[in-house]
Chains A and B, each alone.
Chain A
Amino acid sequence: MTVRDLRAVMGRTVAATVGWLRAVTGDDAYERYLTHPARTHEGPPMSRRTFYEEREKRKWSGVSRCC
C-alpha cells in the first residue's frame, strides 16, 4: 500500500466518522428534509430555524432519555 492509498483510506474514514456524527446528532437533518421526496408535494419548505424548532419540540414531548 502506498502513502497515497493510506491517505485516501484515512480520508475516507474521517469523512465517514464525521458523516456518522452529523447524522447521529441531527446536524444534517435539515439538508435531508430539503431533499426529501415527500416534501416536494407540500409547497415551500420550512426555514432552517422553524425546522429545528419543530424537531426539538417533537423530540422532547416524549420519553427520549433514560436512566
Chain B
Amino acid sequence: MNKIVGVLLAGGGAIALGGIALHRHEPINALWIVTAAVCIYALGYRFYAAWVAARVLSVDPSRATPAERYDNGRDFVPTHRWIAFGHHFAAIAGPGPLVGPTLAAQFGYLPGTLWILVGAVLGGCVQDMTILLLSTRRDGRSLGQMARDELGAFGGFAALIGTLLIMILLIAVLGLVVVNAMKHSPWSTATIFATVPVAMLVGVHLRRLRPGRILEASALGVALVLLAVLAGGWVDTHPLLRGVFDWSSLPLAGFVIGYGWIAAILPVWLLLAPRDYLSTFLKLGTVALLAVAIVLLHPQIKMPALTSFVDGHGPLFGGKIFPFVFITIACGAVSGFHALISSGTTPKLIASEADVRLIGYGSMMLESFVAIMAMIAATLLDPGVYFAINSGAGVVGSAPAAAVHTISSWGFPVTVQQMQALAHEMGETTLFARTGGAPSLAVGMASIFGSTFGRGLLSLWYHFAIMFEAVFILSTLDAGTRVGRFMLQDLLGHLYEPLGRTSWYPSVLFSSTLVVAGWGYFLYVGVIDPNGGVNILWPLFGIANQMLAAIALSVATGILVKSGKARYAAVTLLPLAWLAIVTTAAAWQKILSADPRIGLIAAARALSAHLAAGTLPAQAAAAAPQLIFNQRLDAWLTGIFTAVLWLVILDMGRVCARKLRGLPVPAPSEAPYQAARLQPEGGT
C-alpha cells in the first residue's frame, strides 16, 4: 500500500514538474505549481520525515512526554495532535512567507518556487521537527537553554543576542511594509486604525463582560473588522474624512512607533491578546479561502520562469540569484525563528512523541504552502504591473511616465493608463512605487478572490487583503516588542538586578522604550530612504533569520553527534552547511561588493561622493547623512551576524570533535526515560 501511494505521488510530482519544465517559454497554469508542491510535500512527509523521525531522532511513542509527566492542566497539557498542530501552525505562520516570495518573484517564478519546496522539505521542516523533539525530550527547554546545556555558555549567549537582533530587524521591516501599504491610502489607513479600538473592545469583552469566551469574542471582532473594511470605503468617498486619513509615510511611521510603544506597556489583555485572536482567525480563514480560490480559478502565471534580473540588477533589491534568492525567502523555506516556537511552548502540549512528525514537519509544510500561494499571487500579475508596484521611486523615477518607460524598456510592457485603471479598480489613487510587497500581494489576492467570488468587489477584496496583512503584522509587532523587552530585561538584569524584574514598572518602561527605539530607528531610516528601505532591510532580516536557523541546526547536529548518531548527522549538517554558505556569501557581498546597489559600504561611499559633489536634490541631500550612517551600521550588523554564526558553528565542531575523539563533553541534558501510560492516538 505504502509503495503504491509512493509511486503515485512520485509520478504525480514528476508529471507536474515535467509540465512546468516543458512550458518554460509559455505561460503556465498555477495548478501545475500547486500539484508539484502537494506531491513533493506528500513524498517528503511520507518517506523522508518518517525515516528521520524513526532512525535519526529515534522517536519513541513508549516514552512519556513532559506534557504527560507534568500534566497540570495549565501549561503542560497533553493535547490531541490536530489541536496541537493548529496551535503550532498559528504560532509559526506570520507575514514572512507572504512578503519574501513576493520580493523574490523579481527573479521569475521558478527559483523562488524551487527553493521554497526543496528548502522546506529538506531544511525547514527537518529543523522544526528536530528542535521540537529535542526540546520535548528536555522538558520543553528553550533553544537558548539547549544551546547552553549542550554546547556551552557561548552558544547560549549567541542564541540570545541573535534572537534579540533578529526581533528588532523583523519588527522594523514589517512596520515598513505596513507604512508603505497605508501611505496616501485613506481607505487602508482608516481600516487599519479602526482595528485598534476593535481589538480593545474584544479585550474588554474577554476580560470584564464574558471572561474566556474566546470563540464568541473573536467572531464579534472579525465581524467588526470586516465592517471596518466597508467603513473604510465610505471614508474614502467622504470629502472631509478622506483628508483626515490621507497620511504620508513619516507621520505613519510615527504612528506605528507610538502604537508599538503603547502596546508594549499596556496590559496584554487590552490590546495584544485580543488582536492576536483576531489575527489567528483571519489567518486561518484567509489561507483556506486562498487555497480554495486558487484551485477553483487556476490562474495563468504571467511572470517568466526566469527574468534577466537573475544577474543582479533587479529593481526590488540588488544582488544575483545566488545567494540572494535564498536570503530573500527565509520564512516558507527555512526559518530560524521557528526554532524558538518549537522549543518552549509547543513541546509542553505534545501528548506522544509519535506526534512530532505531524506537528513539527507538517506545520512547516503548510507554512511553505502559504509561501507558494504568495508566489502564485505575485506572479499571476502582469510582470509590468508587478514591477510598477514594487519598484521604488529611487530606481524607476517618481513620475509615472518615467516609471512605465523604464519598466517597459526592461521588456515588461505597462502603461500609465493600465496602472491608473488598476488603481481605480482597487479603490486607490495610485499603485506606483508601493514597495514592501503588501500592496502587490493584495492586488494579486484581490484578482484571485475577485475572479472567483465576484469581480465587482475588487476594491473591497484589495482592502480586505491589506487589512488581513496589517492585522497580523501589527500582532507580530506587539508580541515581538514584548519578547524583545523580556530578553533585554534578562540581559540588563546581569548589570543591575532590579532591571531584570519583569514586573517592576520603571524597568518595563525603560526596556520597552529601548526596544521600540531600536526598531523605530530602522523603520524611520527605511521611510526616508528614496529606494523604499525594504531593499536594504529585508535582506538584512533574511540573513539574521538564516543565522538563527544555523544556530538551531548547530545545536541539533551537536546533540546528534553527542548521542552517538554521528552517521546520521548529515540530516541536519547538510542544511546547516547550505545556510552557512548562502548567509556568508550574502553577508560578504552586502559588506564588500563594489556595486552600490548591493554593497552597503560602497553605497555609503557613493552617496557621500554625490553629497560632496552637490549633485543631490535638496530633499535627498537632507536625508543623505542619516542614510550614510545607516548603511555603515547595517554593514557592521551584517558582520556581527556572520561572526556569531561562525563562532557557533566552530563551537559545535569543537564539541563534536571532542566527542568523536572520546574526550569529555558537556553532559547530555535529556530527561530520563519514563514509560508512557497514554497511547498515541490513531496510526501515524
Chain A residues proximal to chain B, CB less than 8 Å: 20-27, 29-30, 32-33, 36, 38-39, 48-49, 51-67
Contacts and interface: CB of A to CB of B under 8 A. Distances in A.
B218 A48 contact: no
A56 B486 contact: no
Given A53-B269, A60-B482, A65-B94, A25 B280 contact: yes
A65 B80 CA distance: 21
Contact of B341 (A48, A49, A59, A66): A66
Interface in B84-100: 86-87, 90-96
A21 B215 contact: yes
Contact of B479 (A20, A33, A65): A65
Given A52-B206, A62-B345, A67-B335, A24 B483 contact: no
Nearest to B269: A56
Contacts of A23: 79-80, 83, 86
B555 interface: no
B95 A55 contact: no
A26 B340 contact: no
B272 interface: yes
Most buried by B among A49, A51, A65: A65
B213 interface: yes
Nearest to A30: B212
Given A38-B71, A60-B479, A64-B341, A20 B502 contact: no
A55 B74 contact: yes
A39 B268 CA distance: 26
Given A33-B73, A67-B95, A27 B479 contact: no
A56 B280 CA distance: 15
Given A66-B91, A66-B335, A67-B94, A54 B86 contact: no
- Which 4 A-B pairs have CB atoms at the shortest separation, nearest pair first? A36-B73, A67-B96, A24-B86, A65-B479
7 contacts: A24-B83, A27-B213, A56-B269, A58-B74, A62-B142, A65-B475, A66-B96
Contacts of B218: 25
B461 interface: no
A38 B215 contact: no
Contacts of A30: 212
Contacts, number: 111
B277 interface: yes
A40 B73 CA distance: 11
Given A25-B280, A27-B213, A63 B340 contact: yes
B498 interface: no
Nearest to A57: B268
B486 A32 contact: no
A49 B211 contact: yes
B73 A27 contact: no
Binding site secondary structure of chain B: helix
Interface in B64-78: 71-75, 77
B368 interface: no
B82 A20 contact: yes
A39 to B, nearest CB: 6
A45 B545 CA distance: 43
B161 to A, nearest CB: 15
Given A62-B344, A62-B345, A64-B479, 5 more contacts: A30-B212, A38-B73, A58-B75, A66-B335, A67-B95
A57 B486 CA distance: 13
A25 B213 CA distance: 10
Interface string B471-483: 0000110011011
Given A22-B215, A30-B212, A62-B345, A67 B73 contact: no
B529 interface: no
A66 B212 contact: no
Nearest to A52: B212
B273 interface: yes
B462 interface: no
A23 B163 CA distance: 30
Contacts of B95: 67
B525 to A, nearest CB: 20
Contacts of B475: 65
A66 B77 contact: no
A61 B482 CA distance: 8
A49 B212 CA distance: 7
Contacts of A24: 83, 86-87, 90
Contacts of B277: 25
Contacts of B280: 25
A58 B268 CA distance: 11
A5 B150 CA distance: 56
Contacts of B272: 60
A65 B170 CA distance: 12
Contacts of B337: 66-67
Contact of B345 (A22, A26, A64): A64
B338 interface: yes
B351 interface: no
A67 B90 contact: no
B169 to A, nearest CB: 10
B74 A48 contact: no
A62 B338 CA distance: 13
B634 interface: no
Nearest to B477: A65
B217 to A, nearest CB: 9
B276 interface: yes
Nearest to A58: B75
Contacts of B479: 60, 64-65
A29 B75 contact: no
Contacts of A63: 163, 340-341, 344-345, 483
Contacts of B170: 67
B331 interface: yes
A47 to B, nearest CB: 8
A67 B335 CA distance: 8
Contacts of B621: none
Nearest to A34: B73
